[in-house]
Chains A and B, each alone.
Chain A
């Protein structure tokens, strides 16, 4: 497999604040990767760097290109939705389609039109006349009609209601994703996307704190539900996080000794959201 994105020691400073702190990661093609972190963790900065929207230090290659210097060229094969409702109010739907069709060599007009036909949106509408959810639908139709290798989404559903969010992700996975494409999506609402992902990266304070495929998570991490009588024994096995719930304690282990854990209590595979909480909480080791 070829790495679609390679970042080495990616660093971005805003004054004395380190938005990205020597972050290194690679993303392979054909994956759906979630870049997950709390607010202000550096998600957006990382994506902006990948998309050539901001300067950075360190080495970065996206589809074999240097993003900041070759953004226009990169955008022939990559596309992104950074934030909701960024289509300008004066733009009409048909103008948006005409413009992208005129500019983008890999845009398929009939696909955009077909996607819009499933909605209530008419081509004569201006963006300012549309609701936030409808604007997102237009933007998604425009972007999904581009035959791109990499699709980057930054908090794509922020401010949308539950129905709009669900149909957004359904469209993305059902109508768009195939093995030739790679999707990179950021969110701080983990539970919303954890079922679609093939890979996760956790980012906190500008550093990548976890980078794993979903399959690997089951091997690398375990959670054990422990009764109070076994608690001291379980703590001795060096969990990196523990959490009390309903009189029991859940302890999280990395690279676990499974037979030993099974003697202590019920062993579970932590969900991405649980792992996120475990990895990023204050008492993380």
Chain B
């Protein structure tokens, strides 16, 4: 445990972007909120636009959600890059020869980096996104007409957003375990062009399967894992992006005739997610890839 704490601290020393990148995103949002007509994400809100009063609750929820989406997108890209780089960078600068002179097992090293990529980076983004949302709500409530302000301060919205974040961090960590395992394996094996190596073998498999067998199993497995599969299993059927957004906007709930007490909780589907074979098949593949990564790491030295 002690070693794990030091290894995670080490990752923060090396990869300042873990917290600097979301801090920059946050700073942009705050600046935009302070000086701009706020314009954010797919669900625009404009400070002082002439929306009717009835929209206000929905608008607040949407704004909160839109802020989060920006963080989620930046986080996904950064985490993937982090995992792809984490076992490659120290081989490239040859510092692996220093790290391996310390009494740390390769399993400890690999698992600490996996934990940073799948759990700790998301938690950092979560914390910063939360702070940002609070700050933005505060700024907008002062700058904008009062109805927008009050809508942002709905504690109900706020709590639901927390629940949504935490649920997504946990379930995505499980769902994306095979993706993380693959990226780390490439990071441990490749001697250059990690980005290319992370894509080429999969592309080769996809094209090979298409030409030889005329089927699309690899392609559909990949698109299921990366694009469509997660929301399908982790949320109830009516919860596509709009549904989820609806869950934290009273307005949509009201329009859909959903009981006002039915909140985001109603959309989360942990039973469906953890009961899905795809979840566990993916996790098993992820574990196998991680085990392979540890084995490769033990036998690799500097490039």
B97 located at the interface, meaning its Cβ lies under 8 Å from any Cβ of chain A in the complex: yes
Give me the interface of A with B, judged by CB distance under 8 Å. Answer: 48, 51-55, 68, 71-76, 79-83, 85-92, 95, 99-100, 102-105, 139, 143
Contact B298 A68 (CB under 8 A): yes
21 contacts between A and B (CB under 8 A): A48-B301, A68-B298, A71-B105, A72-B103, A72-B104, A72-B106, A73-B103, A76-B103, A79-B101, A80-B101, A81-B101, A88-B95, A89-B93, A90-B13, A91-B95, A92-B13, A102-B5, A103-B6, A103-B103, A104-B103, A143-B101
By a CB distance below 8 angstroms, the chain B residues around A143 are 101
A82-B97 contact in complex given A54-B299, A72-B103, C-beta closer than 8 Å:
yes
Contact B103 A86 (CB under 8 A): no
Q: How far is the CA of A128 from the CA of B22 in the complex (A)?
A: 26
B259 located at the interface, meaning its Cβ lies under 8 Å from any Cβ of chain A in the complex: no
Contact A54 B301 (CB under 8 A): yes
Q: Which of A85, A91, A100 contacts B102 (CB 8 A)?
A: A100
Q: How far is the CA of A68 from the CA of B301 in the complex (A)?
A: 12
Contact A87 B98 (CB under 8 A): yes
Number of A-B contacts (CB under 8 A): 77
B113 to chain A, nearest CB (A): 15
Residues 254-303 of B at the A interface (beta carbon under 8 Å): 298-299, 301-302
> In the complex, which of the residues B102, B103, B298 has the most CB atoms of chain A within 10 Å of its own CB atom?
B103
A75-B95 contact in complex given A54-B301, A88-B14, A90-B13, C-beta closer than 8 Å:
no
By a CB distance below 8 angstroms, the chain B residues around A92 are 13
Residues 46-66 of B at the A interface (beta carbon under 8 Å): none
Contact B100 A53 (CB under 8 A): yes
Q: How far is the CA of A24 from the CA of B56 in the complex (A)?
A: 81
Given contacts A54-B301, A68-B299, A92-B13, 13 further A-B contacts (CB under 8 A): A71-B105, A71-B298, A72-B105, A72-B108, A75-B101, A75-B103, A86-B93, A87-B95, A87-B98, A90-B13, A91-B13, A103-B102, A104-B102
Closest to B298 in A: A68
Closest to A53 in B: B301
The 9 closest A-B pairs by CB, nearest first: A88-B95, A72-B105, A75-B103, A102-B6, A86-B97, A82-B97, A76-B103, A86-B94, A86-B98
Q: How far is the CA of A55 from the CA of B295 in the complex (A)?
A: 11
Q: Which of B9, B14, B101 contacts A90 (CB 8 A)?
A: B14
